[in-house]
Amino acid sequence: MSTPQAPAASPTDAGKPASSREVLAEARRRRTFAVISHPDAGKSTLTEALALHAKVISEAGAVHGKAGRKSTVSDWMEMEKARGISVSSTALQFNYSSPESGEPGADGDADIVNVINLVDTPGHSDFSEDTYRVLTAVDAAVMLIDAAKGLEPQTLKLFQVCRHRGIPVITVINKWDRPGRAPLELLDEIDERIGLTPTPLFWPVGIAGDFRGLLRRGTGDAAGEAVEYIRFTRTAGGAKIAPEENLSPDEALEREGDTWTEAAEEAELLSASGQDHDQEMFLAGQTSPVIFASAMLNFGVRQILDTLVALAPPPGARLDIADKPRNVDDAFSAVVFKVQAGMDTAHRDRLAFMRVVSGVFERGMVVTHAQTGKPFATKYALTVFGRERTTVENAYPGDVVGLVNATALAPGHTLYVEPKVEFPPIPSFAPEHFAILRAESASKYKQFRKAVDQLDSEGVVQILRNDIRGDASPVMAAVGPMQFEVVAARMKAEYNVDPKIEPLGYALARRTDPASEVELNRQRGVEVFTRSDGVLLALVSDKWRLQYIQKELPDLTLEPLVAATD
């Protein structure tokens, strides 16, 4: 199911030409990651808080519990603002100066500037396919867990995708400012349910709901020791960076008394259980560094950024469809993982987000589109911060670049400069919900067709057609029903089309072939459609009907598709 990842490379500069040395140096400065979570775990709030701590915004956009609440920079769609959920992935790029020591949370000279490529993912399970596409483009993930709820179904599914793809995971236990479960209980759940050994780098001082600060645990020879106490001070509404006070263990004991003692004892207990950070085991996907935080109050956010910079892997080689590695200092190549339109209300353009895999991207360069073999000009290239755009002149491995009006590109496509390379495609998930889509007014048919083609090419839904229903009544296929709501909202907002959506009585989709098509169309409870990529799909009313057909007509092709839970 996954695009294989080559082992993270640690190349040396010796003997490399200047251009290769430059690419390797730039790649080492980059961290490209996604935040994964169950809905309402605080993902968009954390995204905003990370941007605030990197000082690319002056005030957090999410001001909860107040009238006139602002929306986060990563949630730009009207539907997202209205509901307070993320339904589309967005890319944010910013610089972050980290401590020179490289140890998370340590004081040092902040003169190492890292480039952070943060890809925010949809929070709702109906958009699992969009999230999976994002996970093909990152080198690490932050798994966000609600302190009161622990591991939830969507988090578990997305973690399994990370494990399948070999993506190392940093765990953040969020909302520690609210009542929740005991910290050791949460760690036990992570260990027992997903087989990932949690190795806390920072331990909470104060129970859930009484978050005073973080105890920084030592690493290496000082593993498990309480190195320092980072004490936080609240700001109004959490709109500003929370002031930090760094105290020694003795000062912490004097300030917090038994609360500090309890935290220090628990931190020592973790070492006795073998829950100290080991970088090799982390990169191998066996352990996960843990940080306790409150994204709402901006407590622990700097520590998350420092941990990402210090521990998350930089871009490495990627395997192509022939299982050969494309090294970061090879000629330019990139993978398209997301296509999005409607981000700029002034221009109905279409952005294709590509992750640079190797080499240097230079705006205006002519590359080859692997799927068509045709040249592709890159004159209009942007870096994106939420809805704001900046023209990009150069980009390096790990960077996310938006190409404007890239109508030929779709998720999973490869761009390259010789030598030729093509990376494995991104699979489409098996849809479970189906609906007929029509325009309410025949006078808007032209706009209707444009909207359907656009949303189909972005992968918002899969569009299915056959001769009987015709182009005026295509069928939408989706992982979850909320995808239909997004279609309706965007058609209205971007194309001024009022769509009519009618549920269709099918529950399963199976891949078939031309040889089986005629016979399948004769069967009750079955209808065959052609997907936009040319794949034939047989929609079946229910699993019992499918079992009957497979038993009575075993020679017909009815192959399962990739499931959203795989």
* Residue among 277, 214, 220 at smallest CA distance from 249: 214
Do residues 291 and 303 lie in contact, with contact meaning Cβ atoms separated by under 8 Å? yes
Residue 108 is assigned to a ligand binding site:
no
Is 347 annotated as belonging to a binding site?
A: no
Kind and range of the H or E element at 500?
A: strand 499-503
Report the alpha-carbon distance of residue 347 to residue 342 in Å, rounded: 8
C-alpha–C-alpha distance, residues 66 and 353, integer Å: 34
Sorted by sequence, the CB contacts under 8 Å of residue 537 that are 6+ apart come out as: 464, 477, 509, 510, 511, 512, 528, 529, 530, 531, 561
Ramachandran region, residue 197 (left: φ > 0; alpha: ψ -120 to 50; beta: rest):
beta
Strand partners, 266: none
121 is in an annotated binding site: yes
Token couple for 317: 């080689």
Q: Answer yes or no: is 560 a known binding residue.
A: no
Q: Is 166 annotated as a binding residue?
A: no
Determine the 3-state secondary structure of 301 from DSSP: helix
**Contacting residues for 35 by C-beta, under 8 A, at least 6 apart:** 43, 46, 47, 118, 120, 121, 141, 142, 144
281 phi, psi to nearest 5 deg = -70, -35
Encoded tokens for 29: 């400065």
Could you list the residues known to form a binding site for GTP, using ranges.
120-124
Could you list the residues known to form a binding site, using ranges.
120-124
